[in-house]
Amino acid sequence: MDALSLKKLFKLTKFFGVLALLILPALAFPQATNSSVALPGMSINFGQGANLVDSIEILLLFTIITLAPSILILCTSFTRILIVLSFMRQAIGTQNMPPNQVLVGFSLFLSMFVMQPTGERIYNKAIQPYMQKTIATTVAIDEITLALRSFMQKQVRKADIGLFYDVTGKTAPNTIDDVPIHYLIPAFIISELKTSFQIGFLLYIPFLILDMVVASVLMAMGMMMLPPVVVSLPFKLLLFVLVDGWQLVTGSILRSFNP
């Protein structure tokens, strides 16, 4: 038997094997031939009795769950906190210390602290009533949106919102409550990026001055071949520890959010 025949025989055997795997469950459980497939904690109904509106609501819920990481990063205080902490690490010059996992975890818990009032509002007005089946899915989503809007409206700048109205040529509303959510979210992101870069610039100044002093001393001593960063790093760490830098930076980040 040549190689081509063996290859065809292997494909035929593979086809019948897959076919057997599909048929055997139906033969072993003939009573499960209805249109409802029972899954752990979920019942999927195909055919008569299926509600199209419920299917759309489930699809919308799965879409929101898929976008949850983006909502967590971009619609909360997480972006500002993580960028400021990253600037702090670069200003000190410790490369990967603290590691990225530590900064992301610390930013996440600080975000939970800042977003606690918003989280309580979402739980009391959206999650808990929805779990008790007193409100519909769309109402719960609206309550979550309103809670996030309330937080973003306190942090966003009017100039950033006006940017998107200038680009589209539309007239800006009289109140920020009338701004659509697809205008508010990108404006909020721009505001967070600008605020975090402003804080990062202020954090760089004392360490930049220390680098310049060390570089001047090394040049005066004729040690031009020695990198100033190598000498200034221990002094940066000493200065940062003496002034309790992490407490100061964390306090500055938390106070930068409008209550």
Q: Is residue 211 pLDDT above 50, yes or no?
A: yes
Whether a cis peptide bond, with omega within 30° of 0, leads into 180 is: no
Q: Is residue 209 pLDDT above 80, yes or no?
A: yes
In this structure, are strands 36-39 and 42-45 parallel, antiparallel, or unpaired?
antiparallel
Give the pLDDT of residue 57: 66
DSSP-assigned states of every residue in the chain: --HHHHHHHHHHHHHHHHHHHHHHHHHH-TT--SSEEEETTEEEE-STT--HHHHHHHHHHHHHHHTHHHHHHHSSTHHHHHHHHHHHHHHHT-TTSS-HHHHHHHHHHHHHHHTHHHHHHHIIIIIHHHHTTSS-HHHHHHHHHHHHHHHHHHH--HHHHHHHHHHHTPPPPSSGGGS-HHHHHHHHHHHHHHHHHHHHHHHHHHHHHHHHHHHHHHHHTT-TTS-HHHHHHHHHHHHHHHTTHHHHHHHHHHHTS--
Q: Is residue 190 pLDDT above 50, yes or no?
A: yes
Give the pLDDT of residue 12: 47
Reported as a single tens digit per residue, the pLDDT across 89-137 is 888 888 788 888 999 999 999 999 998 898 889 888 888 888 888 888 7
- What is the pTM for the complete model shown? 0.70
* pLDDT above 90 as % of the chain: 8
Q: Is residue 212 pLDDT above 80, yes or no?
A: yes
CA–CA separation, 100 and 104 (whole Å): 6
- ∠ CA 69-72-76, rounded to 5°: 160
CA–CA separation, 53 and 59 (whole Å): 10
Reported as a single tens digit per residue, the pLDDT across 7-62 is 554 554 544 454 444 444 444 444 444 444 444 455 555 445 555 556 676 777 77
